[in-house]
Structure 1
Amino acid sequence: MMASASHGTASRLHDIEPAFIYGTAWKKDQTNRLVEEALVAGFRRVDTAAQPRHYQEAQVGEALRQAYRDGVVKREDVYVQTKYTTPAGQDVNNMPYDPSAPLETQIHTSIASSLRNLRSEEESEEDAYLDCLLLHSPLPTVEQTLQAWTLLESYVPNRIRSLGISNVTLPILQAIYQNSTVKPSVVQNRFYPQTRYDVPLRRFCGEHGITYQSFWTLTGNPALLKSKPVGTLAQATGVDPSLALYALVMELGIVVLNGTTSSAHMQEDLEGIRKVRQWAQSYPQEWTGISHAFRSLVEPVI
């Protein structure tokens, strides 16, 4: 029984390829360069938003098109994910739609701008598509959130392949799931102690085939970074503790956003995860012990 569990755990880490989603928030005028570098390094999933306050979506699109031209990747090899952000999350002087317009107009205008920004050179605006679009946050009421979701559903599957939501609580996620035709495929939340690591919400995601994406994985977890399981794994594999933490979070079934601004770290992070995977396959019993100890820190049995 133990051998089977060990093999399954190692396999789950091994199956997450590529390891990260590249997060493009707060990159400002460096966005284009950094996204290009991330794609060259081996990142194949990119997260952005139609929210000029924190993201430069048009620069993400420029970087993607340059990567396609250079033969680094093809459009079908890249997962491109963006967001509709409500007026409350926007800079009042710089947003992709008129905040006084009806919700339907806001959403259609925002999505049109995202499709235009992120399309490949071979795609017309009518042919362009997004792999996933997230509501950046729930709207003020459940009813408004469901109204927005219904509007997003009209784009699936031709213009948008899948839908998700960020910064969401379990009751809101359950309401969307129960009242939608197109079920959420992605939840993107902060992974940190203040939400007790979203254990019930992540369980719901696991039971309903929803991918849980984490952000603030390093910034929000200084205690986990110094924890014994992370230190033990870092020492055993020779990787930086931040990479050991990433690998252990991935073992929980979580897809991690990585927004490093260092090209050296881009390479090191991808190689470090591969190194941990190889070690986990070679030492399944030790890996199981470490991963179980880590799980007990974020999913304590009460």
Structure 2
Amino acid sequence: MTIPTITLNSGRDIPQLGFGVFKVDPAETERIVTDALEAGYRHIDTAAIYGNEEGVGRAIAKSGIPRDELFITTKQWITEQAADRSRPAIESSLEKLGLDRVDLYLIHWPAPANDLYVEAWHALEQFQADGLTSSIGVSNFLVPHLERLLDASDIVPAVNQIEVHPAYQQPGVQAFCRDKGIAIEAWAPLGQGKYPLFEEAAVADAAEAHGKTPAQVVVRWHLQRGHIVFPKSNRAERMAENFDVTDFELTIGEVAAITALERDGRVGSHPDSFN
């Protein structure tokens, strides 16, 4: 099974379908990531604040998968403590992951009340120059945050990882990112179960038409919309199901019908007020 890739503005290829470990119990992370790797995932997305980088690292080490076949992302949680937005932050993550570099390093939230994300971005630029990460990007940045960052730097973020699912697609942020060559990564791609997405006719009808589950249809919608996506599950059979999305294609009409489910239905925190 071949997972499509996207070439980032850094020149690096990133698998469009990855596995996220948000809210995965640190005690269970090694087992769960091992199951994901065995299911075929080669792109793992974690973060310092998740507290499970060590489990991800143990699973990677035990997998025997060559490093160049893996794409590993982690994120910096910026606070007023200087060490949390400087070299010790990424060095701590690398130590926990058991790696000498990550493929992508992100600022996790802009936290605008702290007014530190531009300073943190300049640190990420140096991490990339030093070979600690192949690409750098941001997460949960809105257009004003991105504009300020671009005014202060010549390096454009490779990605912006934001909340995206059929009820909440952030079209303005996506359009800005497309114009600047910033790839979109979608977190909460299935809406975190916070609304009856799978009961929507656009999703259910497409699932029936293709002999797939509603979750597979929504993951496929993300891929066809050009998003990098991280469906999450603690169950091996569901991981395999979410990965099995390359043998069918939604029609233009089916994609349009799912896209039309947009209703500004945010399920996560607002980047302007989350600090």
- 8 Å Cα contact 1:163-1:182 kept in structure 2: no
Q: How far apart are the structure 2 equivalents of 1:15 and 1:230?
A: 24
Alpha-carbon displacement from aligned partner over 1:179-218 (angstroms, at most 9, x marks no partner)? 2232101111122588x42101011122222121111222
Q: 1:21 aligns with which of 18, 21, 30?
A: 18
Alpha-carbon displacement from aligned partner over 1:218-264 (angstroms, at most 9, x marks no partner)? 22663543222212210111111111112112222111111111111
Q: How far apart are the structure 2 equivalents of 1:211 and 1:152?
A: 17
Counterparts in 2 of 1:109 and 1:298: CA distance versus 1, 3 Å: same
Letter in 1 for 2:128: V
Tell me which residue corresponds to 2:184.
Answer: 212
Counterparts in 2 of 1:26 and 1:143: CA distance versus 1, 3 Å: closer
Q: How far apart are the structure 1 equivalents of 2:104 and 2:117?
A: 17
Gaps of 5+ in 1: 1-12, 88-98, 121-127, 281-286
- 8 Å Cα contact 2:156-2:180 kept in structure 1: no
Tell me which residue corresponds to 2:217.
Answer: 244
Tell me which residue corresponds to 1:75.
Answer: 67
- Match runs of 1:154-193 below 5 Å: 154-157=126-129, 158-192=131-165
- 8 Å Cα contact 1:21-1:256 kept in structure 2: yes
**Percent identity for Structure 1 against Structure 2:** 26
- 8 Å Cα contact 2:87-2:127 kept in structure 1: no
Alpha-carbon displacement from aligned partner over 1:73-102 (angstroms, at most 9, x marks no partner)? 210111100011134xxxxxxxxxxx6x4x
User: What is the DSSP-based 3-state SS (H/G/I as helix, E as strand, rest coil) of the residue aligned with 1:80?
Assistant: strand
Tell me which residue corresponds to 1:7.
Answer: none
Aligned-CA RMSD value: 2.5
Matched, 1:114 2:99: no
Alpha-carbon displacement from aligned partner over 1:28-75 (angstroms, at most 9, x marks no partner)? 211001111101110010011112xx331111111111112xxxx210
Tell me which residue corresponds to 2:109.
Answer: 137
- Match runs of 1:1-302 below 5 Å: 18=15, 20-28=17-25, 29-51=27-49, 54-68=50-64, 73-87=65-79, 101=81, 103=82, 106-120=85-99, 128-141=100-113, 143-157=115-129, 158-192=131-165, 196-218=168-190, 219=192, 222-271=195-244, 273-277=245-249, 280=250, 287-298=251-262
- 8 Å Cα contact 1:191-1:220 kept in structure 2: no
- 8 Å Cα contact 1:138-1:167 kept in structure 2: yes
Q: How far apart are the structure 2 equivalents of 1:67 and 1:80?
A: 14
Q: How far apart are the structure 1 equivalents of 2:43 and 2:252?
A: 28
Tell me which residue corresponds to 1:94.
Answer: none
TM-score where L is the length of structure 1: 0.76
Gaps of 5+ in 2: 7-13, 265-275
TM-score where L is the length of structure 2: 0.83
Tell me which residue corresponds to 2:11.
Answer: none
More helix by share: 1
Counterparts in 2 of 1:15 and 1:80: CA distance versus 1, 3 Å: closer
